[in-house]
Amino acid sequence: MIEKQCTCGSEKHHRNLYDGYGIYLCKVCDDCEHNKLNNYRSDIMDRYDTCENIESDGDWDGHWE
Ligand SMILES: [Zn+2]
């Protein structure tokens, strides 16, 4: 018999959690979804732009062309 309860011990049914790209992250329920999200980047649900400026704070002038 397959248990559908969440692993956090809430005894609630779990569901699959995906990030903004639709990539599977983990199983969550209403009780632990927020806690588990805290383990990931705060912007994981956003389709963040991959830009070469993202890791550099050198010549960033604060606005997009
Ligand atoms: Zn849970």
pLDDT tens track for 9-54: 999 999 999 988 899 999 999 999 999 988 887 777 777 566 555 5
Residue 3 resides in a domain: yes
The residue type at 7: T
Q: What total of structural domains would you count in the chain? A: 1
Distance 58 CA to ligand 1 centre (A): 42
Distance 57 CA to ligand 1 centre (A): 38
Token couple for 60: 């960033």
- pLDDT at 20 (0 to 100): 85
25-41: buried (b, 16+ CB within 10 Å) or exposed (e) per residue? eebbbeebbeebbeeee
What domain range includes position 17? 1-44
Distance 15 CA to ligand 1 centre (A): 9
pTM recorded for the entire structure: 0.57
Phi then psi for residue 53, to 5 deg, are -80, -10
Distance 64 CA to ligand 1 centre (A): 40
C-alpha span between 57 and 65 (Å, rounded) = 17
Token couple for 35: 């806690």
Is the pLDDT at 57 greater than 80, yes or no? Answer: no
Residue 62 resides in a domain: no
Distance 54 CA to ligand 1 centre (A): 33
| CB of 12 closer than 8 Å to CB of 6 | yes
